[in-house]
Amino acid sequence: MMRNVARISVAGLFGLGSLLALAQIVPTSPQNRPAVARTEAVTYLFPEQVTIASGKPSQVALHFRVGQGLHINSHMPSADYLIPTDFSIPDNAGVKLSGAEYPEGKIITLPFDPTTKLSVYTGEFAIEARIAAAPGNHLVKAKLHYQACDENQCLPPKTITVPIDVIGK
């Protein structure tokens, strides 16, 4: 009987040690991550649903917000090596993107390099997309590709989903 108790205790200690080891490799909680990691750098605001004439290109204004203290390169960045903001719709969505008009970028300079001028979006901005839809209801998972930066560093490029319920009538 004493041997069985000893085995259970050793097994219990081994199990506790394993749990402690796993706890050390679990990522930190969201509260301990930097502010940029907790929220999206760019948020899609609206519209969630649009009704357009089927088969005819229609203009739809898509509204976005860049997080406070951040900027993203405009669609026409000031240097070739900068990643442009780009809106797209997948080919199999039942909705075609026939073009998009992007706002003009705001020109900024950064404290560490006041000679370089950057064309960026900050705050809220809108992209005027021209879309055509087949008749019916299409739940489109459009995409916005961008790279967000603050005054000191840039985050890796990112693509967010832009969900739009497009009704072609």
List, edge to edge, every strand of the sheet that includes 95-101. 42-46, 58-66, 124-133, 95-101
Give residue-wise pLDDT tens across range 41-50: 999 999 899 9
User: Is position 25 within any domain?
Assistant: no
User: Is position 114 within any domain?
Assistant: yes
Going by C-alpha positions, the residue among 67, 99, 71 that lies closest to residue 85 is 71
Give residue-wise pLDDT tens across range 121-165: 999 999 999 999 999 999 999 999 999 999 889 999 999 999 999
17 pLDDT higher than 80: no
Q: Quote the domain boundaries for residue 95.
A: 34-168
Give residue-wise pLDDT tens across range 18-72: 333 333 333 333 344 344 445 689 999 998 999 999 989 999 999 999 999 999 9
User: Is position 27 within any domain?
Assistant: no
User: Is position 104 within any domain?
Assistant: yes
Burial (0-12, 13-18, 19+ Cβ within 10 Å), 131: buried
> Which CATH number fits the domain that encloses residue 109?
2.60.40.1250
User: Is position 16 within any domain?
Assistant: no
Total number of domains constituting the chain: 1
